[in-house]
Structures are given as structure tokens and as C-alpha cells.
Structure 1
Amino acid sequence: MVGADDRRLDVLRAIVEDYVLTQEPVGSKALVERHRLGVSPATVRNDMAALEEEGYIRQPHTSAGRVPTDRGYRLFVDRLSRVKPLSVAERRAMERLLVGAVDLDDVVHRTVRLLAQLTRQVAVVQYPSLARSSVRHLELVPISTTRLTLVMITDTGRVEQRMVELPEPVPAEDVLHLRGVINASLGGVALSQTPPIVADLVETAAAEHRTAMRALASVLLETLVERTEERLALAGTANLTRGNVLDFPGSLRPILEALEEEVVLLKLIGEVEPSTTRVRIGDENEIEDLRAASVVSTGYGPGRTVVGSLGVVGPTRMDYPGNIAAVRAVARYLGDVLAQN
């Protein structure tokens, strides 16, 4: 807002806050009554006229108050001086819900439900990405002398399981030996760095183990490297129907259909550092069907390591300070949970 003073920014902030709270267009009289703006109603009307001319607010219909535009929300978010802290009850709910989780699936599903409850928006949580994980342990479980189950556990708790068909019978003691060799070579290694190590496992294997190791290496590469799909959890789609007709003037169907596409969801929450919160408002979304919505997202992971992203999707008329705080807090807590496992 070039040349605008702090007073107009205060007026815009008041309009956004009132519209989010009441779901009704905001008039100058209501602003004067609800907010201590320190100026006359005439001055507020002039400021609103200037804000409308500059594209920060608009009049949805004749004789109505004003509502923020996407540009107005963007300025509001960019000039946020504070983020609304979570209440004591919200923090207790977060700790209580996540503490009892038994495995990664449980952690992710509890997290996405919690985020939807805290924000009353659609919540999306990406499982820790294999591309950003390291090998914690590999287990080989004999099913028969020619078939093994390979179980990979990552440092983020993600578990991948594959069947391995061996070209010839392998004794149980040889399976134990192969497991030991593989774990000694891959334990603690980032998945992105494993291909040359796996290739070396075949080259350096003893002659009597090379055939089995070659079969294992093929499945290992598929599990460690070639598995490109990412898993996501979604909750709170019913929250999209809580607003009014001004939130989504068209049909909700395109938005709901877009949210069913995992590729779309991954683009929405993107790759964001844990210390950074990304807010995309309305037309800033590259997905056309979601240009009536806003997305608040961030990354999460143990310490400074980013292993996944999470966020919320809702109408542009959302509680940005509260949603930003909730997204940050849940991401931070999820990172702490992963660090403890």
C-alpha cells in the first residue's frame, strides 16, 4: 500500500478482524463502535474509500459494508505484528492427543485431526518423506528358504515392507549374515546416498552370498530409491461448509475434488522450512480450483531437519493469526515427537 499511513492499515486490520468474526460485510459505523481508531466516522469513511480505490477492500453489493479482497488479506498477513498464541486448553489438547501415539501412522492421523480441530479448516499432513529420511534398521524375515520379507525402518519411524524372491534356497544362518552386512553398510545413511553403497554390497559379497545379495539389492534399490509416491493424511473437509455464501461464491465441488488429488495437496503444502510459514491467498494459488481458498503451511522435522510438510486449507476469510499459530505449534510439536522416537 504505497503512501498509506498507519491509520489506514489499522482500518484495514479492523475490517479483516470484524469480517472474520461476524461473516458480514463491515460498515464504517460498526468500525467506529467496535474499535478505538481515534478518529471521526467521517475520517474512517474516507480511509475506507481510499482502501477500496487501492483494491484492498470491496463492496459485495449495493448498500452493503465492505469485505477484504485477496490483496487486502495479503497486506494484513504481511503486516501481522503478532500471531495469536494457543490457549492453555489448546496446548493441553495437543499434548494429550500426541503423547499416546503408538506408531508413525497413529502420530500422523492424530496430528491431522488435531490440526483440523484447532483451526476448523481442512488439515493436510505429509508423512515423513522417504527422500528426506535415513535408514535406521533393515530386517530380513524368512518366509521360506527362497522367500524373505524385507522391512525397512527409517529414522522418522516410517516402515516400508517388500517381498524378496530368491533364485535359490538360502539357509537361515546366511540370512542373518546378509542382514548384518546390510545394516552395517546402510545404518544411518540418507536414502538419497544409498545407491552406490547397495551396488558395492553386491560387488563385495562373498561368492556364496552374491546371488542372494543381488536379489536383495534389486529390492533394496526399489524400496530405498525408486519409491517416489508420498503419503498424505487429510481431515476436516466438512469444515469447508461452516462459512457463508461469500466464502465460496461458486460451487464447493471443484475444491473438494482438488483436495482428493494427492499431487495437488503436495503442491499446496509444498516444501517449507520449519522456521518459515507460507501463506497463499486466493489467486496466489497456482491450482485454479483453489483460487477461492487460502493455504497456510510449514515444514516439520526433528531439529533443523525437514522431513515433511503440513498445513491447512480454508476460505480467504480465515483467522490468519490463529491459524498461523496453530500450524507452527503443531509442526513444532510433531518435530519434537519424531526426535524422541
Structure 2
Amino acid sequence: MVSERGLQVLRAIVQDYVDTREPVGSKAIVDRHAFGVSAATIRNDMALLEDEDLIVAPHTSSGRVPTDKGYRVFVDHLAELRPLSGAQRSAITSFLDEAGDLDDLLARTVRALTQLTGQVAIVQYPSFARANVTHVELVALGGPRLLVILVTDTGRVSQRIALVPTEPTEADIIQLRARVGAVLVGRSVADSSHRVQAALADGPRPGVALDAIADAVLRVVGEELEEFRQDRLVLAGAATLAKRESDFRGSIYPLLEAIEEQVTLLRLMSEMVADEKGLSASIGRENEPFGLVEASVLASRYDGSTGGARVGLLGPTRMDYSSNLAAVRAVAHYLTRMLEDDDASR
């Protein structure tokens, strides 16, 4: 059983190791922290922490470093979130306020978060299954090509080119816009997707050129709606892993692979359990099922009209959990507020 002072010694070891990257000894703790006891007493506390597998000696030196279990105890019981400075908050607000649409907002979110923390920043798109299609536009590009534009009430705008059997006239495009709009506009992405599939199942009427063109457009629309329903991530800061390669005992390749594939990170983030502050952390060997045993992932939910998704960080287990968790929470708060303000303005 670890005493209260022993837990404070663990806090000191985590903080000093994160700051210095060097194993922490009893003398350093006495010099840097006001425990009011001798180095010998601190050594006894450290021995108990080592017995509990909360710290370990990385080599023959007298210093100790936190284990994954030690980081977990720190995050769950000892970490005090360090609030962002006024300058940091102002910088985030002004940077995000300049976003043009949802895609731009999420791209700005990860850029701001990686600049704040020096870690890989991740934001999950909100689920578009409950978003509504508000507008459909068709633009002739010449020849058998139409630009299909879809707009949702979340602010997402998508553009896809449809190759159609014959070049449509201006009158054809007016009719097509009305037909496709009747299937989609004012309906949820999920409902629209089902209606598109039902319309395609009927097939075009033989010899009716406009039906064949409409089917080609609806196939493209259906593919785009299915993409809307897929989970997606936006990431920034992958280059920071190379700069911090010394923080990893093994290869950083599994992290780079997870960033590239995204599926692993989506699964991991979906399984993380949030605390009463809405924050969650998955540390070191807790990530073994996902092949990320040398990484930590921090996340917070953010909410808009479309429901909860997560914003977070990926990095080595030796990270500043207090500051990084505070940054994640603050950015999630700003993102939530901006999405809610955007919903209210519609």
C-alpha cells in the first residue's frame, strides 16, 4: 500500500522525468521539492513505489522512471490540469474563428492543438448520419460531365464529378436538379442514402435518356452519402514523432502506420472511457490490442448538433499529461462552442 507521501513522490518523479528526460533520484527530489524529509526517507518511498510497479530503474543508475502503471496512477489521481494562459486561449479563439466551413474548422483545430502540445493532434469528424441535406446543385462541365454539389446543415460541402451517358441540355439539368433534390433535400444523410438506393433499384425506363442520366447522378450521390456516414479523422503533427524518436524504446513505425491507416485510431478512441471531466487516456500497454504499446492517446468528447466525436493527442508515454489534457479539454470546449454557435445561426 502506497502512502500519501509516496504518491506525491510519484507525482514528483513523473513531473521531473517529463521535464528533464533523465531518471529521477532521491537527492534530486529532495533538492527540487519541499517534502521536508531526508533523501533516505525518499529512497524508502521509492522502494515501495517500485514494489507496486509504479516506477522502475531503466539501468544501473540510482534514478527511476515511471512505468505505464505509474503514469496511469498519475493521470487518474495526481494530475492537476494546468489551465491555458490567456494568450493561448486568445490565439486558439482567433485562429478557429477564421474557419470557413467544417473541414477548415477541423483542420485548424488539429493545427492549433499540435502547436500547443508538440504532439500528434487528432480530431474525429462528427457523425453525418444525423446531418440533413440542405441543397443539391448540378453544374454542366461540358460533354458528358456534371459537377454534383451536396450541402448539409453541418456546413459540409462536397463536390463530385458524375460521368453521364449523354450531354444534358440546360432544360435537362433543371429537371435533374428537381428530381435529385426531391430525393435528398430536407432529409437526413442516412434517410437520403436509403432513398437513393431505392430509386436506383427501380432502374431507368427504357429509352428515356433523362432517366439514364439521373441514375448516373444518383450513383455518385449515393457513394458520397456513404462517405459522409463513415468515420473520418483529421490529423496534424506526424513530423513531431520523428523529433521525439528518442522517447520510444522501439520503432515509431506502428504509430506512423496507425496515422496512415486511421482505422486503428478510430477503434482505439471509440473504446476509451471518459472520466467525470469528459477526458480519457489510454497509456502504453493499455494500447497493446492496437499495436501501440509505446504510445499514449488522450481524448475529449466535443458535441455539436450531430452528436459526440473526439478530439485528442497521440504521442509517447513520456508526455506532459497535465498540460496536454488541459489543452485537449480547452480545444474541445472551443470546438463545441463554435459548432453550437454555427447551428444556432442557421
1:121-156 Cα shifts (integer Å, max 9, x gaps):
122234445446432322122334854221112233
TM-score normalised per structure 2 = 0.83
Query: Matched residues in 1 for 2:44 and 2:238: separation?
Result: 40
Q: 1:305 aligns with which of 292, 307, 313?
A: 307
Name the stretch that deviates more: 14-23 or 73-82: 73-82
- Show the counterpart of 2:68: 70
Partner of 2:337: 336
Aligned pair in 2 of structure 1 residues 273, 176: CA closer, same or farther (>3 Å)? farther
- How much has 1:84 moved relative to structure 2? 1.4
**Cα RMSD after superposing both structures:** 3.3
Given candidates 44, 48, 51, the residue that maps to 2:49 is 51
- The secondary structure found in structure 1 opposite 2:223 is helix
CA distance in 1, matches of 2:328, 2:218: 40
Count of aligned positions? 337
Normalising by structure 1, what TM-score? Answer: 0.84
Hey, what does 2:262 align to over in structure 1?
262
Aligned match of 2:297: 295
CA distance in 1, matches of 2:50, 2:320: 21
Q: Secondary structure at the match of 2:141?
A: strand
| Contact 1:80–1:321 (8 Å) recurs in 2 | no
| Mapped contact 2:26–2:43 kept (Cα < 8 A) | yes
Q: Using a 3 Å threshold, how does the CA distance of structure 1 residues 200 and 183 change in structure 2: closer, same or farther? A: same
Q: 1:124 aligns with which of 109, 122, 125?
A: 122
Per-residue CA deviations over 1:275-321 (Å, capped at 9, x if unaligned) read 73221111111466521111112333425722x43321111111111
**2:255 is the counterpart of 1:282:** no
Instruction: Give the structure 2 partner of residue 79 of structure 1.
Output: 77
Q: Which residue type is aligned with residue 317 of structure 1?
A: R
Mark the runs of 5 or more structure 2 residues left unpaired by the alignment.
Answer: none
Contact 1:264-1:287 at 8 Å conserved across structures: no
Task: Determine the structure 2 residue equivalent to 1:102.
Answer: 100
Q: Which moved more, 1:311-320 or 1:198-207?
A: 198-207
Q: In 2, distance between residues paired with 1:184 and 1:340? A: 29
Distance in 2 (CA, whole Å) between partners of 1:179 and 1:272 is 43
Query: Tell me, what secondary structure is at the counterpart of 1:194?
Result: helix
1:165–1:215 Cα contact (<8 Å) kept: yes
1:4 aligns with 2:2: yes
Q: Deviations over 1:151-173 (max 9, x none)?
A: 11223333222233444565434
Aligned to 2:222: 221
- Distance in 1, matches of 2:339 and 2:169, equals 37
Q: Spell out, residue by residue over 1:68-88, the C-alpha distance to the aligned partner (whole angstroms, 9 max, x if none).
A: 000000111111463211111
Retained in 1: the 8 A contact 2:160–2:220?
yes
Number of the residue aligned with 1:325: 326
Stretches of structure 1 lacking an aligned partner (at least 5 in a row)? none
What is the Cα deviation at residue 335 of structure 1?
3.0
Deviation at 1:337, TM superposition (A): 2.9
Following superposition, the deviation at residue 16 of structure 1 comes to: 0.9
Moved more, 174-183 or 109-118: 174-183
Deviates more, 1:140-149 or 1:50-59: 140-149
